[in-house]
Structure 1
């Protein structure tokens, strides 16, 4: 199993560039980037760097990291509150998917019940892991409130009926009150079909009155692990390499094996990680100073000077985070300008030109098609071959004939040589489609599965490479 981290936060508006930069730099403090960031009250058209945003309205959204393949889920349910749900696909089709539901319910909405929404989400998840997070605003003594309202009582009964597990710790309030209101826990997290889940309150607000909450679970691998880079020490290899026997005497195979063995002795393996910029020490100091003042203010909520200092530190940290984000982007552009032949530079250019046609997005489209298809990968390849590749022999006969050949009693030498190749050319090419052709065909299949319209020009562009290589192989 692999650890997967999910964050939830009521940001109280996410349009300000300073708040986005503040959150983006805060995410770099984690050992690995969180898989999902669930936001409540983000506003319209929320964006987060390195994350794909799934949003239906301005009250809730789900941000999924680019390393994970996610598909939005339509529950076909119209509610007066806000919700968003996605399914994160695993690497292997036989492994269970991870379903995440984000809910926001305003405290002003009367007679709220989540029974229909939770039932539909459980029906979609079936036996797969399900996580329900959100700001429910449902007071109940079970999660730290001193009073109980109808909404909270119904939610507690619903969680007990459906067998949901609550992971929120009432001893660690998720919302900071004021001088006339207590600290409360409106932000809850429920899980289903998950054996291991660890909930943690970071106590970091980033200018909001809600804390950022982190939940770590363990599931089957949902993303490819980072590989190890092999770095040979060429100076050490040249100084240690000794092979007095000439190549002609020992043979090329023996010489190459001896060469590779000595090269491996000088290699160093380095574990790769996510390319994140280092967090500035001054920004960390501002966050720590604000955190310390907030702890003091919780014991002295009538101290207005502390509240003013907290607001000033929050504004200063947000502005400094925006400056750091701009500086990191300028450094990235300068690095790309100095390394125009680098692979990462051209990947950046392709992502800026069309983010939907990058290599990562193409792999995600293919992974979605594999999980949507009713069958294994071998059956999917056969279905793509039968639908988009020409596997039957042309009934009109060969495409060419020999000129000037003399009639003979039996088949000519050329006909004897070419007949097996002519009958097997297209078939062998169809059985072994190229990676580019299969990728194009998978994209067309995904359009059919999603019910989208595929234009004739798009179909022609997607299959031109397949027919071209088939024609070239059959001619050879």
Structure 2
């Protein structure tokens, strides 16, 4: 796994209230120099030394943040306000690399529509990578039992001609030791073949596995 961590540019993780895991996370990021850790399920005042932290705010509460190392240039991309969906988007530059990264969290109780999903991608500058815990089930990313939300995502992914680099691995561990795939990565087609995608071997204190 060491080589995976060393080459990772983005770390996608639903940390489940990261504060009690922060010391270990800081050491991990310092060791492997990961440029863009994306965290879901965090509080508004989340801070990370050496990183600029961009928070999504929905009705004054943030459930997802996008952290960008200070040796990268990052500019927030203003998108449409989407009720009940937490998301934040940044255009990130490091040397010749330019990438729009969107951190997304959709609670399981939220009802979504195709219009809602289109809005997430509205105006995104390519190349882009949308990552998050979307609480939807589809065979496309490894769910055993697809649901209506997953079908809506399937339709939008086909309509917008975007790609899912998930390899079918589970990303979520239940207390009864059953697994599921809830954390999804979606990218523009122009970078799909150049992306690598892999889950960690452990949750690092969360019931969601980090993704690199």
TM-score category of the 2 structures, normalised to the smaller one: 0.7 to 0.9
**In 1, are the aligned partners of 2:56 and 2:88 still within 8 Å (CA)?**
yes
| Residue 84 (structure 1) aligned to one of 80, 83, 88 | 88
Is 1:129 the equivalent of 2:133? no
Which has the higher Rg, Structure 1 or Structure 2? 1
| Residue 71 (structure 1) aligned to one of 69, 75, 87 | 75
CA RMSD in angstroms, aligned pairs only: 1.9
**In 1, are the aligned partners of 2:80 and 2:119 still within 8 Å (CA)?**
no
Mapped to 2, the partners of 1:36 and 1:85 lie a distance apart of: 12
Aligned residue for 1:360?
none
Mapped to 2, the partners of 1:158 and 1:64 lie a distance apart of: 28
Mapped to 1, the partners of 2:157 and 2:118 lie a distance apart of: 12
Structure 2 residues not aligned, in runs of 5+: 1-6
1:228-250 Cα offsets, whole Å, 9 max, x none, are: xxxxxxxxxxxxxxxxxxxxxxx
Mapped to 1, the partners of 2:11 and 2:26 lie a distance apart of: 13
Is 1:209 the equivalent of 2:211? no
SS of equivalent residue, structure 2 residue 124: helix
Displacement after TM superposition at 1:141 (Å): 2.1
SS of equivalent residue, structure 2 residue 197: strand
Displacement after TM superposition at 1:74 (Å): 1.0
SS of equivalent residue, structure 1 residue 157: helix
Question: Greater strand share, 1 or 2?
Answer: 2
Aligned residue for 1:155?
153
Displacement after TM superposition at 1:90 (Å): 4.9
1:346-381 Cα offsets, whole Å, 9 max, x none, are: xxxxxxxxxxxxxxxxxxxxxxxxxxxxxxxxxxxx
Cα–Cα, structure 1 residues 11 and 90, in superposed 2: closer, same or farther, change >3 Å? closer
> 1:40-189 alignment to 2 at 5 Å?
40-57=40-57, 58-91=62-95, 97-113=98-114, 114-120=116-122, 123-125=123-125, 128-170=126-168, 172-179=169-176, 182-189=178-185
- What is the TM-score of this pair, normalised by structure 1? 0.40
Structure 1 residues not aligned, in runs of 5+: 215-476
Displacement after TM superposition at 1:176 (Å): 0.8
Displacement after TM superposition at 1:49 (Å): 1.5
| Residue 190 (structure 1) aligned to one of 186, 189, 193 | 186
Choose between structure 1 and 2 for higher RCO, CA contacts under 8 A separated by at least 6 residues.
2
Displacement after TM superposition at 1:15 (Å): 3.1
Displacement after TM superposition at 1:148 (Å): 1.7
SS of equivalent residue, structure 1 residue 76: coil
1:290-324 Cα offsets, whole Å, 9 max, x none, are: xxxxxxxxxxxxxxxxxxxxxxxxxxxxxxxxxxx
Query: What is the number of equivalent residue pairs in this alignment?
Result: 199
Displacement after TM superposition at 1:119 (Å): 3.4
Displacement after TM superposition at 1:97 (Å): 2.9
Aligned residue for 1:353?
none
| Residue 14 (structure 1) aligned to one of 8, 11, 18 | 18
Question: Greater helix share, 1 or 2?
Answer: 1
SS of equivalent residue, structure 1 residue 213: coil
**In 2, are the aligned partners of 1:96 and 1:129 still within 8 Å (CA)?**
no
**In 1, are the aligned partners of 2:40 and 2:64 still within 8 Å (CA)?**
yes
SS of equivalent residue, structure 2 residue 49: coil
**In 2, are the aligned partners of 1:167 and 1:189 still within 8 Å (CA)?**
yes
Mapped to 2, the partners of 1:188 and 1:80 lie a distance apart of: 18
Mapped to 2, the partners of 1:147 and 1:4 lie a distance apart of: 30
Mapped to 2, the partners of 1:5 and 1:111 lie a distance apart of: 30
**In 1, are the aligned partners of 2:118 and 2:156 still within 8 Å (CA)?**
no
Cα–Cα, structure 1 residues 76 and 111, in superposed 2: closer, same or farther, change >3 Å? closer
Aligned residue for 2:3?
none
SS of equivalent residue, structure 1 residue 200: coil
